[in-house]
Structure 1
């Protein structure tokens, strides 16, 4: 298995009024691209092209994903629904590096799933009202559901995650934080099911809910 990775998350300072368009622009201008490109399980060999950028500003995490894949699917419409069945990007974040993590999951039209806990079983969902109020998402595919579309598709997604959405760690300060995380792309019910990661996952079958395989994320 590949060596565990470390990611330095830079702070972006700006006087601009923050919205998703500005966040997208600043991430493009000031951060580097990282790849989600590890095939951890031999039975799932499809590898879409996926990259991301990340930064922090004013106790917010900023993310931008770039995806090129053979087909896209966006059938889930309910917050905290099974978005991992669709074309989905994910950010699993353990702010205290103690095994209690948040699984941020977004289908390709921005429907969000967010829960926290120490493992796959017994997770606690974050209230949909908090998710819809605090987490901002914009996809180049829009926000309406659709059945699977084949052929090559390219899409981008920009996300603002305020630390206040970390309901179990509301008073955490991102600046100077040494945390754990992993970044994923999946699609359980897409034409070619796939499960790829940024940091290697050493399990026998696909399982993203394994904080022991998260990489280190340092907020500068």
Structure 2
């Protein structure tokens, strides 16, 4: 099982720009999202992330380089997984239930919660999803599109869990890059998934993350 230590950082949010946030996260280690789990979807964009917390917020900085960038969805809870999309699935109750936090290159978000049974999952109210602040940038590098997004996720988003502080918590999670509606669909994960068809909603394959 994959494991990851999440360092504590005081990150100032007064100047909420991609540059200001990325500078403050600059010394954090990068983690790859590089598991290609299904032979029929072998395309592998270059995807990495940095992560930290300040006891009340989770900071995730994704860096993506891929051939195509698609950004169709602009409204909360739309099908952002069909765009150029990064995702963070996390469980605070030993994988009984989990949150799926999905954002496209524009910063359009979708968050769901519940158990692994589809009929017991629901998307959060848009007022909750908008609590996640995002900063993004897109550049063209050698004919490929390079984009970055920083998610600032407050503990208030985790509506089914009473999280007073993230300090010392152990959770289970996986990190993904997908693009179901891109010319070359792909499904990458941080923690390897062993399942016959593409499916991210498999908490049995979540890795362990420890908030320092």
State if a TM-score over 0.5 links the two structures: yes
Secondary structure at 2:127's aligned position in 1?
A: helix
- 2:188 corresponds to: 196
5 Å-filtered alignment, 1:30-69, equals 31-69=28-66
**Is the 8 Å Cα contact of residues 195 and 206 (structure 1) preserved in structure 2?**
yes
2:95 aligned to which of 75, 95, 98: 98
Give the TM-score normalised by structure 2: 0.92
- The alignment's C-alpha RMSD in Å is 1.7
2:122 aligned to which of 106, 113, 124: 124
Secondary structure at 2:26's aligned position in 1?
A: helix
2:72 counterpart of 1:75? yes
Alignment gaps of 5+ in structure 2: none
**Is the 8 Å Cα contact of residues 109 and 141 (structure 1) preserved in structure 2?**
no
**Is the 8 Å Cα contact of residues 84 and 186 (structure 1) preserved in structure 2?**
yes
Alignment gaps of 5+ in structure 1: 143-150
Q: Measure, in 1, the Cα distance between the counterparts of 2:12 and 2:35.
A: 37
Secondary structure at 1:72's aligned position in 2?
A: coil
Q: Measure, in 1, the Cα distance between the counterparts of 2:15 and 2:117.
A: 34
2:137 counterpart of 1:140? yes
Give the TM-score normalised by structure 1: 0.89
CA positional deviation for 1:25: 1.8
CA positional deviation for 1:16: 7.2
Residue-pair matches, total: 207
Secondary structure at 2:58's aligned position in 1?
A: strand
**Is the 8 Å Cα contact of residues 20 and 158 (structure 1) preserved in structure 2?**
no
CA positional deviation for 1:14: 5.5
Secondary structure at 2:70's aligned position in 1?
A: strand
